[in-house]
Structure 1
Amino acid sequence: MIVLTGILRCATQAEADIVRRLLPEHTRLTHAETGCLAFEVTVTDDPLIWRVEEQFSDRETFAAHQQRTRASAWGEATRAIVREYEITEVNAE
């Protein structure tokens, strides 16, 4: 399983508004992806910082998610927003 945790750090209120506007559709599309086990993006106490938590079944499904995301409206509109992510592989025992 691939686990991504971290933050999306908006520099301006305009960037945060883009996240708020596009996040529902991005979330819907991500949940529909093969291999998506969990996906949650939530605003923190700081309205410019969003907590990101993702789980995908394996490297291949995570790579497909990243590829789809880069080519999406979300990917285009949020490209300049800073992401501070940690990606780990967790082996099921």
Structure 2
Amino acid sequence: MSKVTLEGFILVPSSDLQAVTRELVNHKKLTLEEPGCLVFKVQQHSENPLRFDVYEEFVDRSAFDRHQERVKSSYWGAVTKNVTRHYQIIE
């Protein structure tokens, strides 16, 4: 199996910005602790505070899929339900 990389950004509605920013620290910590997570970076854009650039690497598709499932049922999943995701996934 090959490594899976996700790269792109999310756009956060201004009404959700505070909750997303607050929960991001926990989301990063939990993701980096996941088996198979190699790299996980989410950074607020310097010129647009509603944009967060995202870069993730997982050892394989199975690890990536487990991450996606965890996120769906997490608090992060709840606070980011209104964000617009712009991702490219490379295998």
* Match in the other structure for 2:34: 33
Kindly report which structure 2 residues correspond to 1:6-85, keeping only aligned pairs within 5 A, or say none: 6-12=8-14, 14-44=15-45, 45-85=47-87
Which runs of 4 or more aligned residues in structure 1 lie more than 4 Å from their structure 2 counterparts after TM superposition?
none
Aligned length: 88
Q: 1:87 aligns with which of 66, 69, 89?
A: 89
Structure 2: state its 5+ residue gaps: none
What is the TM-score normalised by the length of structure 2? 0.93
TM-score using structure 1 length: 0.91
Q: 1:6-51 CA deviation, whole Å, 9 max, x = no partner?
A: 0110121x22212111000000000000000000000112000000
Q: Give distance in 2, aligned partners of 1:18 and 1:48.
A: 12
RMSD between superposed Cα atoms in Å: 0.7
